Structure 1
Amino acid sequence: MAVTDKASSQEPGEVAGPGLQAALGAGALRLRGLLDGLTDDAARAPSALPGWTRGHVLSHVEGVAQALARQARYALRGRTVEVYDGGRPARDAAIEAGHGRGAAELAAAVGDALDEAEASWGAVGAGDWQRPVSYRDGTVLTAGLAWWRELEIHTADALLGSGPDRWPPQLCVHLVDFLTVRVPHGTELRLTAVDADRSWTLGRGEPVAVGGRLTDLAAWLAGRSPQQPLTGDPLPELGSWP
């Protein structure tokens, strides 16, 4: 799949090492602030994900924070471990068991998981990012970027007051790159970020031009609703999440 990217001299650039650690810290801080004052009714309210309440989303964030943190923690010991003990069935069971907790208990559990994540990612040194992990047979960097995506996207999904318009530019650029595989076969998707002097050509085939704010383009590629309309009618149907 052809990928080209035209960026201005103000492009966000790659996020790795201390930059990724700082981004993870900022995302965790934002989520902690949104959890202040969470009520039982708010925890039971629908999220942006069909069939899931906020409690489901927050229980998932708790679990994935712990799962990816241990990828880093064991990698630093020279070991690889399964992402979730018991695999996907155990992950799903934990969400179902945890989503109905009271708001205070739920917020405290998410806070504890964020503490664990921050400690694990904060311990990663400059020479550790290419250590192997079991997550997608990747590296510590692969797992760190996955946690960044999960943290920021699901914070928006929780509908607690921070939507995709709060996603940092570096995350949006990363999402476009990561989600390029969603471009449908036979389509050359020409994306233009009207507020960032940045454009991409993704895929090969019939050209389709789509324009909008950088955050809205990233939200659409991530399967979330853009907060301002995109140009391009009709928008192509995207493929599966990679």
Structure 2
Amino acid sequence: MTHTLPDFPRDASAVREATDRLLVSAGKLDDEAIAEPSLLPHWTRGHVLAHLSRNADALTNLLTWARTAVRTPMYASDTARDADIERDAGRSLAAHLEDLRESAARFDAAARALPEEGRAYEVEMRNGVVERAGRLALRRLAEVELHHVDLGVGHTLDQLLPVFVDGYLDLLATVKFAGHKELPTLELHTEDGRHWRTGGGAPGAAPVVVTGAAAELVGWLTGRSDGGQLDSAGSPLPAVPPL
């Protein structure tokens, strides 16, 4: 049982809502707090915010590619991506907030400009992942929602937007981890009766059945939770490969 993954224009408002919530949380910080560690190893909160701004521009590049059919790389290179994040991480809170707003506005404008026929156009993301343009809003929503958690400002898994949780859990199960050889076969069950099979275990092997709230499943599969709130019927939870 799966959900239809969100496309444009239906979830564009969810990206805006998630961005507004992120800006409210970040706006309560100060320059000193921005320089403190985030929940991501080796990254300060400034690194997280800088990444979010540059990711908005990177996804805008892909939307432009889908609209014009002229190849526009997501990032100039991995080295350039990392250098941009490092360059911008130490800025003031005011500079981060301005960049977040402006880059989000550019993404939103590009999303609105994508014609209906462009939603099926395939573009290449970082690391060679091929994605439909109509699913880039979900990809952006994932960046905003998960990195809001990573800021370590009290935004928790149970505060994730339901449209994100439903869409991203479906994407993780049917795209990201489907057939993944480093993950045994899983049968994911939400408390409201939905279920997915994913992973790449040996043919015929009994799946590990994991049940819990959809947000907790997303948290575990994305490395934001140890899965302590999930029920695996006595079986140990397997290690989940990094995204």
> Could you state the TM-score of these two structures normalised by the residue count of structure 1?
0.84
Q: Which residue in 2 is equivalent to 1:149?
A: 142
Deviation of residue 184 (structure 1)?
5.4
Deviation of residue 237 (structure 1)?
0.9
Q: Which residue in 2 is equivalent to 1:69?
A: 60
Percent identical among aligned pairs is 28
Note the 1:109-188 alignment, pairs <5 A. Answer: 109-135=99-125, 136-180=129-173, 181-182=176-177, 185=182, 187-188=184-185
Report runs of 4+ in structure 1 exceeding 4 Å deviation.
Answer: 183-186
The DSSP-based 3-state class of the residue aligned with 2:187 is: strand
Deviation of residue 89 (structure 1)?
0.3
Q: Which residue in 1 is equivalent to 2:207?
A: 207
Deviation of residue 217 (structure 1)?
0.5
Distance change (3 Å), C-alpha of 1:119 and 1:227:
farther
Q: Are 1:218 and 2:218 counterparts?
A: yes
Q: Which residue in 2 is equivalent to 1:191?
A: 188
Q: Are 1:19 and 2:16 counterparts?
A: no
Q: Which runs of 5+ in 1 are unaligned?
A: none
Q: Which residue in 2 is equivalent to 1:36?
A: 27
Contact 1:81 1:134 in 2 (8 A): no
Contact 1:216 1:226 in 2 (8 A): no
Contact 2:22 2:148 in 1 (8 A): yes
AA aligned to 2:108 is: E
| Cα distance between partner residues in 1 of 2:136 and 2:8 | 12
Distance change (3 Å), C-alpha of 1:119 and 1:160:
farther
Tell me which moved more, 38-47 or 137-146.
137-146
| Cα distance between partner residues in 1 of 2:29 and 2:227 | 24
| Cα distance between partner residues in 1 of 2:13 and 2:130 | 25
Distance change (3 Å), C-alpha of 1:82 and 1:14:
closer
| Cα distance between partner residues in 1 of 2:149 and 2:190 | 20
Distance change (3 Å), C-alpha of 1:169 and 1:78:
same
| Cα distance between partner residues in 2 of 1:234 and 1:72 | 41
| Cα distance between partner residues in 1 of 2:132 and 2:185 | 30
| Cα distance between partner residues in 1 of 2:4 and 2:183 | 29
Contact 1:212 1:230 in 2 (8 A): yes
Distance change (3 Å), C-alpha of 1:226 and 1:18:
farther
- Cα root mean square deviation, aligned: 2.3
Q: Which has the higher contact order (CA 8 A, sep 6+)?
A: 1
| Cα distance between partner residues in 2 of 1:137 and 1:225 | 27
Contact 1:172 1:214 in 2 (8 A): yes
Deviation of residue 16 (structure 1)?
1.2
The DSSP-based 3-state class of the residue aligned with 2:84 is: helix
AA aligned to 1:176 is: L
Deviation of residue 101 (structure 1)?
0.9
Q: Which residue in 1 is equivalent to 2:93?
A: 103
Distance change (3 Å), C-alpha of 1:218 and 1:98:
same
The DSSP-based 3-state class of the residue aligned with 1:190 is: strand
| Cα distance between partner residues in 1 of 2:113 and 2:59 | 14
| Cα distance between partner residues in 1 of 2:63 and 2:94 | 28
The DSSP-based 3-state class of the residue aligned with 1:133 is: strand
The DSSP-based 3-state class of the residue aligned with 2:185 is: strand
The Cα offsets for residues 100-155 of structure 1, whole Å up to 9 and x where unpaired, read as 11111122112211121122112223222123433234332243332222122112
AA aligned to 2:239 is: E
Contact 1:186 1:206 in 2 (8 A): no
Deviation of residue 25 (structure 1)?
1.7
